[in-house]
Amino acid sequence: MGLSGCGGGGGSAASSQDDTASGGSNAGGDTATSSNPSLALTKSACATGFYAADFLLSSLLSLDVLPSLGKPAKGTAFLEPTYKTCVVRSTNHTADGVSGFTRNDYARRQAFNSDSSKFIVYALDGSWHLYDAVTRARVKALAGPAGDAEPQWSSSNPDVLYYIPTNGVGMKLNELTVSTGVTRTLGDFSARVKAIWPTANAAWTKSEGSPSKDGRYWCFMVDNAEWGSVGVFTWDRDTNTILGSMNTNGERPDHVSMSRHGGVCP
């Protein structure tokens, strides 16, 4: 999948690439890059001849026909013709030794860690892979997350990633130290949740949720073994406390998430 950066107020488009691409759309801006190596690399790759000083993305809604584009070489910047943005291909699953594809997971899960030095992608076989955001080199497959593990980077520690068991079965939240590959259980909800809903089997956001911005407050939906909904609960990471719960009476949410500041489970 290709991702085109949006530094203005307009639209963006995902191309039909099988491998992740990153884009930079701030052409001659004043953004500092010394503390953001991936931004520095993208700006360097897109620095020559892509943008006029007055470049802006359109803020208008439009229905655009996207041309079919060939895959560029990894690390090569190219001009995306519809919105005239610079895109840089960041992965090549074949050359990187990854089966099927390497893709960004989902818009509500940040691919980059807190200092933008690393990013993660997932592969066709359900494995998750760590990349260096500066060199775009594949570092390793991550030990722990598998399939729909809903990985979330720590907002403050660039070496920490949170994830759940696949599809939330087992009702835990794990913390992975990426550099060492060591996982510890941060929250084991099983006994506490089963005390509320005896048939509980999985606790997850159903793939589409995020914690609060600081990573402290989480909201999970709870399913039984037949994937019927039994309830929703909120959890405080810092105190390992279930803050509240609600029966869903069989009405299954499409997904759950946590508000930015941690006050609402929408």
Tens of pLDDT along the chain (266 residues) come to 343 333 333 333 333 345 665 544 333 333 333 445 555 555 567 766 678 888 888 889 999 988 998 888 998 888 888 888 888 899 999 999 998 999 998 887 899 999 999 999 999 999 999 999 989 999 999 999 999 999 999 999 999 999 999 999 999 999 999 999 999 999 999 999 999 999 999 999 999 999 999 999 999 999 999 999 999 999 999 999 999 999 999 899 999 999 999 999 98
How far is the C-alpha of 25 from the C-alpha of 23, rounded, in Å? Answer: 7
Count other C-beta atoms under 10 Å from residue 235's C-beta: 26
What is the pLDDT at residue 84? 85
Note down the domain range covering 72.
1-90
Number of residues in the chain: 266
The residue among 68, 90, 112 that closes a domain is 90
What is the pLDDT at residue 44? 63
Question: In the beta sheet, which residues pair with residue 185?
Answer: 174
Residue 129 in domain: no
In the chain, the number of structural domains is 2
Residue 120 in domain: no
The residue among 64, 90, 116 that closes a domain is 90
CB 242, CB 200: distance < 8 Å: no
What is the pLDDT at residue 248? 97
pTM above 0.85, yes or no: no
Residue 182 in domain: no
Place of tokens 């390992």: 240
Residue 171 in domain: no
The residue among 90, 120, 138 that closes a domain is 90
Residue 96 in domain: no
Residue 64 in domain: yes
What is the pLDDT at residue 70? 87
Angstrom distances, CA of residue 252 to CA of 65, 193, 247:
36, 17, 10
H/E stretch holding 193 reads: helix 190-196
What is the pLDDT at residue 27? 34
CA atoms within 13 A on the CB side of 222: 27
Angle at 221 between CA 220 and CA 227, to 5 degrees: 140
CB 120, CB 143: distance < 8 Å: no
Residue 72 in domain: yes
What is the pLDDT at residue 17? 47
Residue 105 in domain: no
